[in-house]
Amino acid sequence: MSSDSTRSDAVLASTADIRAILGALNESDLLEIAALQPSIRDLEEAATWLSGDRDIFGAGAPLKDVVAEIIAVLVRDTEDEAERTR
């Protein structure tokens, strides 16, 4: 087992997993998230954080890089949509 990978035992998510966990996504976001090679656990953590259950991770606990990047993709689209509707 490689010591430089903390995710070596994590199951990488397929595009079907991404859609199942995060819901309907446009193709661009789906591909961007898939390119991050997230694990199923990463997707679940992002979904939990986005649902408002941030306390599950502990007060002030930083998000893992991949989880933070997934959230950034999804939040960016929400913010873009809000700007277009103003």
pLDDT digits (tens, 9 = 90+) for 7-60: 444 799 999 999 999 999 999 999 999 999 999 999 999 999 888 865 555 556
How far apart are the C-alpha atoms of 38 and 66, rounded to whole Å? 6
CA pair distance 67, 50, nearest whole angstrom? 11
CA distances to 7, 10, 66, 70, 72 from 77, in Å: 27, 27, 17, 11, 9
Would the pTM of this model clear 0.85, i.e. be above it? no
pLDDT attached to residue 53: 62
Do residues 20 and 39 touch, judged by C-beta distance below 8 A? Answer: no
Provide the token pair at 46. Answer: 């992002």
